[in-house]
Amino acid sequence: MKRHLLSAADLTRDDAELVLATADEMRSLADRPIKKLPALRGRTVVNLFFEDSTRTRISFEAAAKRLSADVINFAAKGSSLSKGESLKDTALTLEAMGADAVVVRHGSSGAPHRLAHSGWVRSSVVNAGDGTHEHPTQALLDAFTMWKHLGGSRPGGLEGRKIAIVGDVLHSRVARSNALLLRTLGAEVTLVAPPTLLPVGIEGWPVETSYDLDSVLPKADAVMMLRVQRERMHGGFFPTAREYSRRYGLDGKRMATLQDHTIVMHPGPMVRGMEITADVADSDRSVIVEQVTNGVAVRMAVLYLLLSGNEPAGSMVEGEE
């Protein structure tokens, strides 16, 4: 693995398979009464969140704590950032405190890259979502969830699997990171969206595209619904919410056209009734809550591999009864 995880494209196939296998070992820890390993004892992980987050921030915090790291949570609100302090000065402060890893979420695409390559910090930088650009650990937890359900938990298990990613691709860092990672793992991705919600340059992505959800659903092994990111929209991308749901929402009727084994996913936060109906979100096919559980295991794997080198964690997990 490289020193930083900024993009899903930073991961080779071997790296990605190693994260999945390591996360699988970490996952077994979640079922134990004591969910802690000593692997990162004495190391410091800083969660630097400039943008709102529920799942991702809590997930990184739980992951670091389960590896016995010291965790510092730093949210932009209530810090000197609201007094105008720059990313650089914040970074220098973190460096002075001896951070080993900095997990950063920022509204601007490229902010984690800047942090990693400016020379301001010596720590590993993990991108926890930057603007509309990338969210590599979300892609890893999504891939892990698919790999458990569709890939038999074995290397190469996602080869040839058909994944539909549906909705506001234009504003989605989740879609971009997933497209890159799933390609690396050999899956076939189809992005489904209205033309206005597909980014310029989509021809260069390793994916198929479609405007017709109903033709894609029966072939998919996994369907990932994306939230319509109204906070990033300045202008009308579709006529009405109702019209959007009618063409691109996943409801019970559409769900009935899926194959028996097909799973339904969503990175959260969901807007029930918009991109997904409540009956679908709460159905047996939905793995949305499991994605959250898997997120902790995957982030443990990432922090562990970045900070402790690439040796397998297996013996250590076994040894920690």
Residues that bind ligand NCD (CB under 6 A): 55-56, 129, 135, 138, 173-174, 227, 229, 267-268
81 vs 270, beta carbon nearer ligand NCD: 270
Burial class, 239, CB count within 10 angstroms (exposed 0-12 / middle 13-18 / buried 19+): exposed
129 vs 194, beta carbon nearer ligand NCD: 129
CB of 82 to ligand NCD, least distance (A): 21
The β-bridge partners of 75 are: 49
100 within 8 A of 70, measured Cβ to Cβ: no
Q: How far apart are CA 46 and CA 157, in angstroms?
A: 34
91 vs 174, beta carbon nearer ligand NCD: 174
CB of 135 to ligand NCD, least distance (A): 5
Both tokens assigned to 133: 């650009």
CB of 314 to ligand NCD, least distance (A): 28
149 vs 227, beta carbon nearer ligand NCD: 227
At residue 172, φ and ψ (nearest 5 deg) are -100, 110
Residue nearest to ligand NCD (CB): 227
Q: How far apart are CA 223 and CA 150, in angstroms?
A: 12
CB of 174 to ligand NCD, least distance (A): 5
CB of 229 to ligand NCD, least distance (A): 6
- Cα 101–Cα 153–Cα 297 angle in degrees, nearest 5: 25
**Considering Cα of 276, then 281, then 283, then 287, what sign does the dihedral take?**
positive
91 vs 228, beta carbon nearer ligand NCD: 228
CB of 132 to ligand NCD, least distance (A): 9
Omega of the bond prior to 267 within 30 degrees of 0, cis? no
73 vs 229, beta carbon nearer ligand NCD: 229
Smallest CA-to-CA distance from 314 within 25, 18, 10 is with 25
Q: How far apart are CA 128 and CA 123, in angstroms?
A: 15
Amino acid type, 321? E
249 vs 267, beta carbon nearer ligand NCD: 267
HSE at residue 271, side-chain half, CA atoms within 13 A, is 15
111 within 8 A of 50, measured Cβ to Cβ: yes
CB of 231 to ligand NCD, least distance (A): 9
